[in-house]
Each structure stands twice: as C-alpha cells, then as structure tokens.
Amino acid sequence: MFTLISAFAEFERNIIKERIMFGLDRPRRQKKTLGRPKKIVDHQKVREASGLSVREVAEQLGLSKSKVARIVAR
C-alpha cells in the first residue's frame, strides 16, 4: 500500500514539475527576464556614509546589511 501511494506522489510531483517548466519556458522564448528586478545601488552614496554604522546605512538606502558590508569592504 505504501509503495502505491509513493508511486502516485512521485507521478503527481513530476506533473507539477512539467507544468512549472512549461510555464517558465514561454517567457524565456519571448526573451523576457524572469525573477525580481535588480536594485540599482549607488556605491558612492554607501561609501560617503562611512561615519554611520552598516545598519544605519542599510536602513537609509533601503539595502541589506550584507550588501552594504560588501560594498564597504571593496
């Protein structure tokens, strides 16, 4: 019984995977970009705010702390 249920679950998962791949294939053929739009970061503004903490700079510019830390480290 368990084998039968697992076979159906695997079959259903494969169908879901096919639908997802089909749904992503059409925009790719139309040369559309997928995913979240990239945020344009002004590296100069981050470096100018060097007197502030990483957290304060991140909050002011709407960036993540790790992104600000990476820009400062360069």
pLDDT tens for 6-49 read 999 999 999 999 999 999 999 999 999 888 888 888 888 888 87
> Which residue in 49, 68, 50, 45 sits closest to 58, CA to CA?
68
Both 46 and 69 in one domain: the answer is yes
Which residues have CB under 8 Å from 60's CB, separation 6+? 49, 52
Give the residue numbers spanning the domain of 3. 1-35
Query: Distance of alpha carbon 61 from its chain centroid, rounded?
Result: 19
Domain containing residue 50: CATH number: 1.10.10
Both 49 and 73 in one domain: the answer is yes
Both 55 and 22 in one domain: the answer is no
Both 40 and 15 in one domain: the answer is no
The alpha carbon dihedral of 23, 26, 28, 34 has a sign of negative
> Structurally, how many domains does the chain consist of?
2
Q: How far apart are CA 42 and CA 61, in angstroms?
A: 9
Both 40 and 74 in one domain: the answer is yes
pTM, two decimals, is 0.50
